[in-house]
Amino acid sequence: MKKLIAAILACMLVLSMSAALAADKYVIAMDTVFKPFEYTDAEGNFVGIDVDIMKAIAEDQGFEAELKSLGWDAAIAACQAGQADGLIAGASITDERKASGWIFSDGYFTATQCMTVLAGSDIKGFADLSGKMVAVKTGTQGAAYAESLKEANGFDITYFEDSPTMYQAVIGGQCVACFEDTPIMAATIKENALPLEIVEGSENEGAPYGFAVFKAEKQELIDKFNAGLANIKANGKYDEILAKYLD
Amino acid sequence: MDSKNVKIHVSHLKKNFGKLEVLRDISNDITEGEVVVVIGPSGSGKSTFLRCLNRLEDITSGEVVVDGVNIADKKADINKVRENVGMVFQHFNLFNNMNVLRNLTLAPVDLGKMSKADAQKQAMKLLERVGLADKAQAFPSQLSGGQKQRVAIARALAMNPDIMLFDEPTSALDPEMVGEVLEVMKELAREGMTMVVVTHEMGFAREVADRVIFMDGGYILEEGTPEEVFGNPQNPRTKDFLNKVL
Amino acid sequence: MLRIIDVYGELLLKAMGQTLLLALCGLFFACILGLIFGLMSVVKNRPCNIIARIFVDAIRGVPMIVLAYFIYFGVPYLLNTIMKIGGVTLTALQAGTACLALNCGAYMAEIIRAGIESVDKGQMEAARSLGMPYWRSMYRVVLPQAIRTMIPSIINQFIITLKDTSILSVIGFPELVNTAKNVLANTFMSFQTWAIVAVMYLVIIQTLSVLAKHLERRLKHGL
């Protein structure tokens, strides 16, 4: 019995030491599918712009990043609960989110948003949406863009939880259009040969994506991210990553 | 009693439950005003026989003609026949969701036999007859076993049937309540109701029956007046059974 | 938390209304389906029994989220693309109602079957022996008694179905969970949002439970 207790205590000691040794290890929460920022490729590897940027910055700054693909809602909750240190999930930097106590890094990517319709659709502009149903993904800038146009153009919005379901709603005819980040939309249509087309001239000015932490004591992680981001932009690593996913 | 006026004619009745033959070959005629008591050991088929008389059990083969209608025929209007054949069950089967009065008026009113007011008037008369007029508003759960069975008899009578079937009407009763139910049945018999009674009450059979039928193994083994069957049984199985119960 | 209530309170209340609307629509049709398939499983008719069995087993064997995707996307696809019946689209409310009705209907069918079977068969025999037809006996005598024993299970199923409306957030129906995800995406305030939503569900379900208890007392002898 004594031996057993001793063994357990020893294990706990080792574990706590290893935790202490890995003080520079951060848990980063991410979305599950937000192509091409994060997704699982055909080989089962978790990849994407967010993934590669995070890895590159961690390497540059000499910390270990443990990436956890939790999903959008769970990633937010995990940071609030302290289960994760930071969040990188194509999250736009908004004043409302800052007002809730979140701290954002410098923008690491600026995407414009656009309207996408079924190929050959009658919808040529926002005015054609009057009385129709529009699909967006919860919490995206696309959703915010659609919301800003809703009143003036008299359409309704359905909120989906992931992009594939949103596209399906347009292809299936449940909604006439969807609003999505332009590079993502273009890449997805091309890659999957979807019967969709981006409406010309429907882009907005765009908003930057940021890495985010919830607590002020995580400020050092933001500083490291910003420093690392500047470095990989300077050494060409950043452009390399974008080129890999956005062409 | 006009022996020619046959109310129920049974010929070569057979009833199987799956592979089990419960009634093997039953033929019998029951005439108007006759009180027939069916006795026999449990499993003899006597209850099944009774339940075939209003087709609560599907008839495997043979004929059962009630009031001129062969109810073994699937096309027969069984509901019409049943309106004229009252049945009293071992476990009363009063409608638990209705008070006593509604138990008596449900079928006559629902089947358009009489207006609600008439049905209620008749129900009160019937309840008086079975000595339960004061229980009209009670629910079945508030009655004793004997009271339930008397209500059940009144309910069957509410359709003004000319035949009454009794399926072990006193078997589920506490001994002290048997008498009150038998009393009601005796009175019915005196009034000339055609009755078929499955029972273990040999005293009742002796006193009231015009004819006693002894069944065993799915056959009618012996029948006759109570004096004949009880006083001088011919079949050894009848003797054996009577020795055990008397 | 107060900021969420202040800014998004109205939106969340509207979503609660949508949750109730969806639940009521779903439950209404679930009762009809449940009654039909429940009765089909107790009548003396083999084909009816088998159809009811297949319905119940098929629906119970599929998670509701799969059913939701299938109805919302699969059914129009089947009709429009495969069967070439053009122009069929389902709104999220229609698809959600169908989904809840099928799911809850299957469980209701089982509750109704069990309820009817719990009524002593002597009740049916007594009614039949008086000359009452099968369905009249069922309606007047058996069902009213069955309903009394079914009520606790039915209320339980209602509550489950009410909570199951949250699954339909995946097809974009703007009920509480779907709306809450929007609120938390905007505010990034996860716990506060979910706490408000939890309280709202609790209020609806408690109200339903109190009503149910009241109803149960009233039906002491059956309907």
pLDDT tens digit sequence for B113-136: 999 999 999 999 999 999 999 999
Task: Give the Cα separation of C112 and C13 in Å (integer).
Answer: 34
Q: What is chain C's alpha carbon radius of gyration, rounded to the nearest angstrom?
A: 21
* pTM score, whole prediction: 0.80
The answer to whether chain C touches chain A by having 3 or more C-beta pairs less than 8 angstroms apart is yes
The pLDDT value recorded for residue B124 is 97
Q: Tell me if C129 and B139 make a contact (CB, 8 A cut-off).
A: no
Dig out the tokens for A209 from the structure.
């994506």
Task: Give the Cα separation of B174 and A110 in Å (integer).
Answer: 90
pLDDT at residue A21 tops 50? no
pLDDT in tens, C179-217: 898 888 888 888 889 999 999 999 999 998 898 888 888
Q: Tell me if C178 and A138 make a contact (CB, 8 A cut-off).
A: yes
The pLDDT value recorded for residue B242 is 93
> Phi and psi at residue A108, in whole multiples of 5°?
-105, -5
Query: Which residues neighbour A50 within 8 Å (Cβ) at sequence distance 6 or greater?
Result: A30, A34, A37, A38, A88, A89, A90
Work out whether the CA dihedral A48, A50, A54, A57 comes out positive or negative. positive
The pLDDT value recorded for residue B112 is 94
Task: Give the Cα separation of B120 and B102 in Å (integer).
Answer: 8
The pLDDT value recorded for residue B83 is 95
Q: Tell me if C125 and B155 make a contact (CB, 8 A cut-off).
A: no
A156 lies in the same domain as A99: no
A227 alpha carbon, distance to own chain's centre:
20
pLDDT at residue C43 tops 90? yes
Q: Tell me if B155 and C130 make a contact (CB, 8 A cut-off).
A: yes
A90 alpha carbon, distance to own chain's centre:
2
pLDDT bin (cut points 50, 70, 90) of residue A173 is confident
Task: Give the Cα separation of A225 and A199 in Å (integer).
Answer: 35
Task: Give the Cα separation of A107 and A222 in Å (integer).
Answer: 11
Neighbours of B82 (CB within 10 A): 24
The answer to whether chain A touches chain B by having 3 or more C-beta pairs less than 8 angstroms apart is no
**Residue numbers of the domain that contains A220:** 25-111+207-245
A72 lies in the same domain as A122: no
Task: Give the Cα separation of B245 and B228 in Å (integer).
Answer: 17
Chain C residues with beta carbon closer than 8 angstroms to that of B111: 130-132
pLDDT at residue C46 tops 70? yes
Q: Tell me if C76 and A76 make a contact (CB, 8 A cut-off).
A: no
C133 interfaces chain B, CB cutoff of 8 Å: yes
What's the complex ipTM?
0.92
A170 lies in the same domain as A190: yes
A222 lies in the same domain as A148: no
Chain A residues with beta carbon closer than 8 angstroms to that of C179: 159
Q: How many residues does chain B have?
A: 246
A121 lies in the same domain as A154: yes
Dig out the tokens for B96 from the structure.
């638990």
Task: Give the Cα separation of C92 and C94 in Å (integer).
Answer: 6
Q: Say which of C129, C141, C145 has its CB closest to residue B56.
A: C129
The pLDDT value recorded for residue B129 is 93
Q: Tell me if B97 and C129 make a contact (CB, 8 A cut-off).
A: no
Q: Which amino acid is at B72?
A: A
Residue A14 inside a domain? The answer is no
C2-221 homologous superfamily: MetI-like (1.10.3720.10)
pLDDT in tens, C58-112: 999 999 999 998 998 888 878 877 777 767 778 889 999 999 999 999 999 999 9
Between residues B85 and A45, which one has the greater pLDDT?
B85
Chain C residues with beta carbon closer than 8 angstroms to that of B110: 132, 136, 140
B126 interfaces chain C, CB cutoff of 8 Å: no
The answer to whether chain B touches chain C by having 3 or more C-beta pairs less than 8 angstroms apart is yes
Q: Tell me if C190 and A77 make a contact (CB, 8 A cut-off).
A: yes
B211 forms beta bridges with: B36
Q: Say which of A159, A165, A212 has its CB closest to residue C174.
A: A159
The pLDDT value recorded for residue C221 is 61
Neighbours of A228 (CB within 10 A): 24
pLDDT at residue B3 tops 60? no
B107 interfaces chain C, CB cutoff of 8 Å: yes
The pLDDT value recorded for residue B89 is 97
**Mean pLDDT score across all residues of chain A:** 88
pLDDT at residue A15 tops 60? no
Assign 3-class secondary structure to chain A: CHHHHHHHHHHHHHHHHHHHHCCCEEEEEECCCECCCEEECCCCCEECHHHHHHHHHHHHHCCEEEEEECCHHHHHHHHHHCCCCEECCCCECCHHHHHCCCEEEEEEEEECEEEEEECCCCCCCHHHHCCCEEEEECCCHHHHHHHHHHHHHCCEEEEECCHHHHHHHHHCCCCCEEEEEHHHHHHHHHHHCCCEEECCCCCCCCEEEEEEECCHHHHHHHHHHHHHHHHHHHCCHHHHHHHHHCC
Look up residue B11 and give its DSSP letter: E
The pLDDT value recorded for residue B4 is 59
Q: How far is CA B197 from CA A35, B70, C44, in A?
A: 83, 21, 29
A105 lies in the same domain as A119: no
A228 lies in the same domain as A238: yes
Contact status, residue B91 vs residue C129, Cβ threshold 8 Å: no
Task: Give the Cα separation of B230 and B202 in Å (integer).
Answer: 9
Q: Tell me if C221 and B139 make a contact (CB, 8 A cut-off).
A: yes
pLDDT at residue A43 tops 90? no
Select from A158, A163, A213 the residue whose CB has the most chain C CBs within 10 Å, as the one to mutate to test that interface.
A158
Chain A residues with beta carbon closer than 8 angstroms to that of C189: 80, 100
Dig out the tokens for C105 from the structure.
């209907």
Between residues C77 and B52, which one has the greater pLDDT?
B52
Task: Give the Cα separation of A221 and B209 in Å (integer).
Answer: 103
Tell me which residue of B174, B241, C185, B84 sits closest to A73, measured CA to CA. C185
B74 burial via Cβ count (<10 Å: 0-12, 13-18, 19+): exposed
Q: Say which of B56, B96, B106 has its CB closest to residue C140.
A: B106
Please state whether beta strands A156-160 and A113-118 pair in parallel, antiparallel, or not at all (unpaired): unpaired
Distance from CA of C158 to the nearest CA of A (A): 26
Q: In what order do the strands lie in the sheet with A196-198?
A: A156-160, A133-137, A177-181, A113-118, A196-198
User: Interface of chain C against chain A, CB under 8 Å?
Assistant: 3, 69, 72-73, 76-77, 80, 89-92, 169-174, 178-179, 181-182, 184-191, 194
The pLDDT value recorded for residue C201 is 95
SS3 C111: helix
The pLDDT value recorded for residue A20 is 43
Nearest-by-CA chain C residue for B108: C130
SS3 B235: coil
Give, for B29, the enclosing helix (H) or strand (E).
strand B20-31
SS3 B17: strand
Chain A residues with beta carbon closer than 8 angstroms to that of C170: 160-161, 165
Q: Tell me if A102 and C188 make a contact (CB, 8 A cut-off).
A: yes
A149 lies in the same domain as A122: yes
The domain spanning residue A31 has which CATH number? 3.40.190.10
Asked, as a colleague might, if the bond just before C47 is cis with ω within 30 of 0, I would say: no
At residue A208's C-alpha, the angle toward residues A202 and A126, to 5°, is: 15
Q: Tell me if C140 and B86 make a contact (CB, 8 A cut-off).
A: no
Please state whether beta strands A113-118 and B35-39 pair in parallel, antiparallel, or not at all (unpaired): unpaired
The size of the B-C interface in CB pairs under 8 A is 71
Tell me which residue of A60, A161, A76 sits closest to A68, measured CA to CA. A76
A154 lies in the same domain as A97: no
Task: Give the Cα separation of A139 and C186 in Å (integer).
Answer: 6
Dig out the tokens for B101 from the structure.
């009065």
The pLDDT value recorded for residue A1 is 64
Q: Tell me if B156 and C141 make a contact (CB, 8 A cut-off).
A: no
Q: Tell me if C130 and B82 make a contact (CB, 8 A cut-off).
A: yes
Ordered by start, the domain boundaries in chain C are 2-221
Q: Tell me if B107 and C130 make a contact (CB, 8 A cut-off).
A: yes
pLDDT at residue A18 tops 70? no
Task: Give me the residue label for tokens 């259009």.
Answer: A177
Residue A58 inside a domain? The answer is yes
Residue A6 inside a domain? The answer is no
A130 lies in the same domain as A98: no
Look up residue B232 and give its DSSP letter: S
Q: Tell me if B79 and C132 make a contact (CB, 8 A cut-off).
A: yes
Neighbours of B208 (CB within 10 A): 20
Distance from CA of B196 to the nearest CA of C (A): 15
B238 alpha carbon, distance to own chain's centre:
22
| CB neighbour burial string for A206-219, b if at least 16 within 10 angstroms, e if fewer | bbebbbbbbeeebe
Work out whether the CA dihedral A90, A94, A99, A104 comes out positive or negative. positive
Chain C residues with beta carbon closer than 8 angstroms to that of A100: 3, 187-189
- For the ranges A108-117, B198-207, C37-46, C85-94, the lowest mean pLDDT is seen at C85-94
A129 lies in the same domain as A61: no
Q: Tell me if B89 and C126 make a contact (CB, 8 A cut-off).
A: yes
Distance from CA of C205 to the nearest CA of A (A): 25
Q: Tell me if B93 and C123 make a contact (CB, 8 A cut-off).
A: yes
Nearest-by-CA chain C residue for B51: C129
A61 lies in the same domain as A91: yes
**Mean pLDDT score across all residues of chain C:** 91
Q: Tell me if B97 and C131 make a contact (CB, 8 A cut-off).
A: no
Work out whether the CA dihedral B193, B194, B199, B204 comes out positive or negative. positive
Please state whether beta strands A196-198 and A64-69 pair in parallel, antiparallel, or not at all (unpaired): unpaired
Contact status, residue A245 vs residue A36, Cβ threshold 8 Å: yes
Nearest-by-CA chain C residue for A74: C190
Last residue of a domain, one of A179, A198, A217: A198
Dig out the tokens for B53 from the structure.
């008389």
pLDDT at residue C218 tops 90? no
Q: Tell me if A139 and C92 make a contact (CB, 8 A cut-off).
A: no
Span C151-156, average pLDDT: 90
Q: Which amino acid is at C102?
A: L
Q: Name subunits touching A (3+ CB pairs < 8 A).
A: C
Query: Which residues neighbour C82 within 8 Å (Cβ) at sequence distance 6 or greater?
Result: none
- For the ranges A23-32, A150-159, B236-245, the lowest mean pLDDT is seen at A23-32
Chain C residues with beta carbon closer than 8 angstroms to that of B157: none
Q: Say which of C172, C181, C186 has its CB closest to residue A169.
A: C172
Q: How many residues does chain A have?
A: 247
pLDDT bin (cut points 50, 70, 90) of residue A19 is very low
Chain C residues with beta carbon closer than 8 angstroms to that of A212: 188
Both ends of chain A: CA-CA distance in Å? 63
Count: domains in chain A:
2
Dig out the tokens for B202 from the structure.
């040999």
Task: Give me the residue label for tokens 């004793």.
Answer: B144
Residue A167 inside a domain? The answer is yes
Dig out the tokens for B117 from the structure.
């007011």
Residue A8 inside a domain? The answer is no
Q: Which amino acid is at A115?
A: M
Residue A18 inside a domain? The answer is no
The pLDDT value recorded for residue C204 is 93
Q: Name subunits touching C (3+ CB pairs < 8 A).
A: A, B
